[in-house]
Amino acid sequence: MKKLDEILEGVRTAAIAGHVNPDGDCAGSAMGVYLYLRDNFSQIQADVYLEGKKKEFSFIPEISAARTEAESGKIYDLLILVDVSSADRVGVAGEYIATAKRTVCIDHHVTNGGFCGENHVVPHASSTCEVLYDLMDGEKISRDCAMALYTGIVTDTGVFQYSCTTPHTMRVTAALLEKDIPFSDIVEQAFYRKTYAQNQLMGRTLMESIMLLGGKCIVGIVRQKEMKFYGLTPADMDGIVNQLRNTEGVEVAIFLYELAPQTFKVSMRSDKKVDVSKIANLFGGGGHIRAAGCTMNGSPFDVVNNLTLYIEKQLLESDGE
């Protein structure tokens, strides 16, 4: 794929957007592109769209400029989608896929089949922010842009503890640190810091979790009534599935939270033996080999029963090798 500077040649207006319920990599990559344009392409009128900006990413420079609603009928020269694996995952800027003169998708999800006019998908990359760094001119990356890119890398690698972390990831990170970014503050705010209510719900979920498949699978469930009791929303559920996965002996963690009666958002994390992206894909979702998700209908029992059927199959195949 062309470098970002080449993609931007002749562009006068651009929209930058990510996926629904943006996480650190989505927010970091969207704002990273926006700040790169701000610093180096002042002739381009750029708008960035993020559905539901999360307070833990409020430190990213100019994130307050991100729009949460699309402007109907607006036509951009270029739509840049970041960290989005499929068209139905695009957030508030989804309508621009059909109206923009050119569309580009930059991503790292293994389930991304390429749905834009131009696609640059690097499944082995730790994060979309890592992919973006390789497409940018390193000399043109400002401190603000570096902060945004570092946010995406540090969250998608679990502060460099997940298997997606590679030597190249660390080289990119080192280059970003050369920009004198407040890296320890970013890690604290983007990955570790939780509100008291979030910690309460996490503790309750861990306490009420159940072990299945001989202790190789753990399941945590949060219902709408519990979110309402603690005054929390789906945007506050980040981190619970990762904590579940840290349980000794667990190969796969499943976390469900209720979106509506009989409708659950599913997040899965695996250790070494299970490709959860394949399982999520079966139910209309996607993601990465070790981290994936989908939305499923039915009772919690039905959802977990359907998922563990495929998890158990992969575990048996792995143990038989």
What residue ranges do the domains of the chain occupy? 4-192, 196-319
Task: Indicate the pLDDT class of residue 233, thresholds 50, 70 and 90.
Answer: very high
What's the pLDDT at 321? Answer: 60
Distance (Å, whole) CA 235 – CA 51: 11
The pLDDT of 179-193, averaged and rounded, is: 95
- Which amino acid is residue 113, in one-letter code? G
CATH class given for the domain over 4-192: alpha beta
- The one-letter code for the residue type at 257 is Y
Q: pLDDT at residue 235 above 90?
A: no
pTM as predicted: 0.90
- How would you classify the pairing of strands 286-287 and 263-270? unpaired
Each residue of 103-153: pLDDT tens digit?
999 999 988 999 999 999 999 999 999 999 999 999 999 999 999 999 999
pLDDT value, residue 287: 84
Class of 196-319 in CATH:
alpha beta
Cα separation, 160 vs 169, whole angstroms? 9
How many whole angstroms separate alpha carbon 113 and alpha carbon 70?
Answer: 25
What pLDDT score does 54 carry? 79
Topology alike, domains 4-192 and 196-319: no
CB contact at 8 A, 118 and 1: yes
288 pLDDT above the threshold of 90:
no
Question: What letter represents residue 264's amino acid?
Answer: F
